[in-house]
Structure formats: structure tokens, C-alpha cells
Amino acid sequence: MIQVVWGEGVGPTEKAGFDAALADAGLHRYNLRRLSSVIPADTTVEQAGTAPNLGPTGGVLDAVLAEQTSGPGARAAAGLAWASEPSGGVFYEVSSHDPETVAERLQAGIEQGKTLRGIDAPVETRVVTADPAPERYTSAVVAAVYGESSPLL
């Protein structure tokens, strides 16, 4: 199963804001390995919100990740769109400062991805917007996590 999770965060640096958004999504305990956007055949995609315990701290977790970290006073928006049928599917990820831009680009991108792969399935989306924080970095993340973590060493 693939779980779609999301979060928002702020921090005194770009990395700290991103880390806070990962914590909000339940992903801060894992080493994330980025995947391209293909959904394997016969795989369920579920919107989970926050990741459950997916294994020991420090494990590797495979994910498709949309992330935006913005400077002080600017908002952050990130989103995933996906379409899946029994033969497989595709994710499309977008990030920007503007949630409307994210939504527009998600729609255009996922339609192209569906066409390239011959997918005739409805599209689902998740867009997260983090409001700006004065003198802090703001982050938004949306991730599609594949299964559970595996040992790094």
C-alpha cells in the first residue's frame, strides 16, 4: 500500500522548516529515498494524513515527495496528484509559493502522465499550503510513502 501524508512546518532555517513539516507528516524519523512517480500494478493508494509507525528510526523509506520551503514572510504550497488502475498508475508532484499555481500545474501534469501511460482513471489530489511566518522559514510537504521502511545498514 502507498500512503499519502502531508505536513506544514516553520523553523529558523530552511532545513529546520522542512524538518518540522516532515515531523507534522510523521516522516521525520526516516531517511527518505526519492522515487520517480510510477505506481506499481495492483497497489492501493490511501490518504492517511499522518504516517503511522513505518519501522525503526533511521530506516529507509521510499517516497514520492513534493516539498516547498519559502523564506520569511512567504507561504509555501506543495501537492501531489495521482491516478491509478489495476495495471498501475502515476503520481505528479508540484511545489510553489502559490496554491492555485500548484493546483493548475498538478492538473496539467497528471493529465500528461496519464496520456503517456494510457491510464484512464480518475485523478485524486492533495495540496497543502503553509501560511507565512515572520522571520521564519515555512515549509509544506506532501509525500506518497511506499510500504514500510527498510534497514539502512
What structural domains and CATH numbers belong to the chain? 2-150 (3.50.20.10)
User: By C-alpha distance, which of 77, 76, 82, 71 is closest to 44?
Assistant: 82
Query: pLDDT tens-digit profile of 40-90?
Result: 999 999 999 999 999 999 999 999 999 999 999 999 999 999 999 999 999
Containing 61, the helix (H) or strand (E) segment is strand 60-70
Structural contact between residues 81 and 123, judged by C-beta atoms closer than 8 angstroms: yes
Going by pLDDT thresholds of 50, 70 and 90, the confidence category of residue 23 is very high
Q: Which residues, in sequence order, are bridge partners of residue 95?
A: 78
Question: From the CB of residue 116, how many other CB atoms can be counted at a distance below 10 Å?
Answer: 9
Q: What's the pLDDT tens digit per position in 119-136? A: 999 999 999 999 999 999
The amino acid sitting at 20 is A
pLDDT at 129: 98
Q: Contact 29/52 with Cβ under 8 angstroms?
A: no
The pLDDT of 21-29, averaged and rounded, is 98
User: Residue 151 has which C-alpha cell?
Assistant: 534497514
Report pLDDT digits (tens) over 89-103: 999 999 999 999 999
Closest by CA position to 80, among listed 32, 119, 40, 48: 48
Radius of gyration of the chain (CA): 15
